[in-house]
Chain A
Amino acid sequence: MTDLYQLQRAMRRMRKQAMDRGVVAILDVGSAKIACLVLRFDGPDRLRETEGIGALAGQSSFRVIGAATTRSRGVRFGEIDAMQETERAIRTAVQAAQKMAKVRVDHVIACFAGAGPRSYGLDGAVDLVDSTVTEGDVARALAACDLPDFGEGREVLHAQPVNFALDHRSGLIDPRGQIGNRLSVDMHLLTVENRAIQNLIYCIKRCDLELAGVASSAYVAGISSLVEDEQELGSACIDMGGGATGLSIFIKKHMIYADNVRLGGDHVTSDISKCLQIPMATAERIKTFNGGLVATGMDDREMIEIGGETGDYEHDRRTVSRAEVIGIMRPRVEEILEDVRARLDAAGFEHLPSQQIVLTGGGSQIPGLDSLASRILGQQVRLGRPLRVQGLPQSATGPAFSGAVGLCLFAAHPQDEWWDFDISAERYPARSLRRAVKWFKENW
């Protein structure tokens, strides 16, 4: 636990360094594509270290000066599957983005979708020493949270305090300086499999880059594609990627739940490929150009040449109607959405005051998805696109880039995490004293 605490703190320091140097890279390691953005921090907010959030939540402080996308290789279900391939793909993206930015980047903030995220809600409470709440009290309260047994080989990715309560008053955003007797805190803890993070760190190190932060892709997609009132009132962001579909639930501008479904656009493509007996590349092309979810009478007459290279005339001149393609795609998309529905139900999404659902990610571009999703997920469904940030090229403004853009926002203005508070004073000295005594015993 402390190892991770130190690792995350080190990454925070690295992020600070990168901001001081002015250039940081954003890497979205997805199963369909790897996107790299190069940010330059030189806006008016750049060196402002004030309380609260700056203008436009820190968005005015940076500018995208380089952007590159490459087809992902070696990543399945949002996890690194083949290290060498992934490393090469990362290298391709980083080099192209560097070339566009005309600057060398050394620090990178990465996000990934998979690795089985699991959410835990923790709470802890402490009696205040002084009647006023200080930062140390907050740290103590966070440290007082009972850590659940999340199993061997898992690491904490996010640990964000989402709610503070002082005596009987709950729902405080910032308890510091307030007067009370007992401070309790609710914390949202997101754990992922350890090996996924280790693999990512290794790949990035192999590219001569330093990791300055890791985030869950579902979380950052939510940051960029949910508007402020949706984040405030309660909403779910569903990031439909290539190999995995992430979902994150936000309320009061905090993520309170994240999960992912190991199904995505690639499965739709492979269904088409298998049914029509065509290569994956052709299937992908047909899905992109002719795909859909709601069949009409017109679609029966629209014939699609699916081609082939066997030399057999009959085989090479096959055609399918668009209705058939829709018939292949729809069950799979329904399956994905039903899985998402099940996760939302498990999380208790129906208890939120507002139940807005935002679909984003590359998979959300399938025509007719909104009507299908509203049938399965509920009435309040919309398609989301990422926020516009300065300097982002037109080609990177689509919903497929909501993760990358969200990571930019995350880099500019990260939410408070557990490791942003100093280790609580009562635990730290005891341990170091014990270590000092141990050292003396061993050496004298």
Chain B
Amino acid sequence: MRPLIRRRSRVEPPPLRDPAPSRLAYRAERLWLTPLFRRFLRIGLPVVLVAAAVAAFFADAGRREALAALGHDLRQSFTERPEFMVGLMAIDGASREVDEDIREILPIDFPVSSFDLDLEAMRQTVAGLDAVARAELRIRPGGILQVSVQERVPAVVWRSDNGLELLDAQGHRVAPLAARGARPDLPLVAGTGADGAMPEALHLIDLAAPIADRFRGLVRVGERRWDVVLDRGQRILLPETGAPAALERVIALNQAEEMLARDLVTVDMRQAGRPTLRLAPGAIEEFRRITTAEAEAGDG
């Protein structure tokens, strides 16, 4: 039988659902089916969101620093492993002073990681030393920084406005010199620009070997030609070009006629066609006196 007592709370049947989509739902679905929109939602939106999240994370300076510190720590823990550490420096082929100089200009606090060593920069620093011709740096197994050095060999002593300096055969500065007497074995050159013409100078010094006992040094004149200075204040003025030939001529004359032993001040070879001698003051009178005396003796 049908229940006659009315229930207190009767559940109302839900209103019949309209199967039609609302205008909004319809539009949303159509929008969702638009290929461009879909692609934007699937690719563009995630990219934008991730970029925004990253930007938001890095907007805070503290987080940025923390992340940088973390990266630094990680790097350090790797580079500071014992197999990468360099404990000492070995220098080959350097004299004691150069050795000290190198240790001075390479201020490395050993032990140091090999990742922190910039070998090329260090090589350039070492090669920048005046006394060093060539330098090679490498890290030997066992944590040794090997520095192989080829030193410059001093060839002459150069007296310039800055004092005495040692130069090598190419005219590079090797070291300053306190006194000429410290290196009596090396020939002396002087004059501005002498270092620029060092090969020619050495050649001239070689040629001057026959008069080595009288040879004092070479002087660069006007940064273009050489004077050979001998003792007793004698000078041989060499031309700008063909200086070795001119010097050879003078030496040949000297060997034949003992020209340089006479009372000359200057042998001027600057004009190849007209070599000129300048006698010492008083030498002319002396010469005349001697010749008249001889003539008188001959007459008498």
Residues of chain A touching chain B, judged by Cβ–Cβ distance below 8 Å, are: 70, 88-89, 91-92, 94-95, 98-99, 102-104, 207-208, 311
Contact = CB atoms under 8 A, between A and B. Distances in A.
Contact of A91 (B2, B23, B34): B23
B141 to A, nearest CB: 66
A91 B33 contact: no
Given A104-B34, A311-B2, A95 B29 contact: yes
B57 interface: no
Interface stretch (B14-22, B40-48, B282-290): B14-22
Interface string B162-183: 0000000000000000000000
Nearest to B29: A95
Given A95-B30, A98-B33, A207-B26, 11 more contacts: A70-B19, A88-B18, A91-B20, A91-B21, A91-B23, A91-B26, A92-B20, A95-B29, A98-B30, A102-B33, A104-B33
Interface in B55-100: none
Nearest to B31: A104
Interface string B1-37: 0100000000000000011110100110110011100
Contacts of B23: 91
B20 A88 contact: yes
B249 to A, nearest CB: 101
Given A104-B34, A311-B2, A92 B19 contact: yes
What interface size band does chain B fall in? 10 to 19
A92 B29 contact: no
Given A70-B19, A89-B20, A91-B21, A208 B30 contact: yes
B19 A208 contact: no
A99 B27 contact: no
Interface of B: 2, 18-21, 23, 26-27, 29-30, 33-35
Contacts of A207: 26
A280 to B, nearest CB: 15
Contact of A98 (B2, B18, B29, B35): B29
Nearest to A88: B20
A95 B19 contact: no
A307 B27 CA distance: 42
Nearest to A70: B19
B19 A103 contact: no
Contacts of B20: 88-89, 91-92
13 contacts: A88-B18, A89-B20, A91-B20, A91-B26, A92-B19, A92-B21, A95-B21, A95-B30, A98-B30, A99-B29, A207-B26, A208-B27, A311-B2
A26 to B, nearest CB: 17
Contacts of A88: 18, 20
Contacts of A104: 30, 33-35
Contacts of A91: 20-21, 23, 26
The listed residue with most A CB atoms (<10 A of its CB), out of B29, B34, B35, is B29
Contacts of B29: 95, 98-99
A397 B20 CA distance: 24
Nearest to A101: B33
A88 to B, nearest CB: 4
The listed residue with most A CB atoms (<10 A of its CB), out of B19, B20, B21, B35, is B20
Nearest to B37: A104
Contacts of B27: 208
A182 B154 CA distance: 121
Nearest to A103: B33
Contacts of B30: 95, 98, 104, 208
B147 to A, nearest CB: 73
A314 to B, nearest CB: 15
Contacts of B34: 104
Contacts of B26: 91, 94-95, 207-208
A393 to B, nearest CB: 19
Contacts of A103: 33
Contacts of A94: 26
The listed residue with most A CB atoms (<10 A of its CB), out of B2, B23, B27, B30, is B30
Nearest to A90: B20
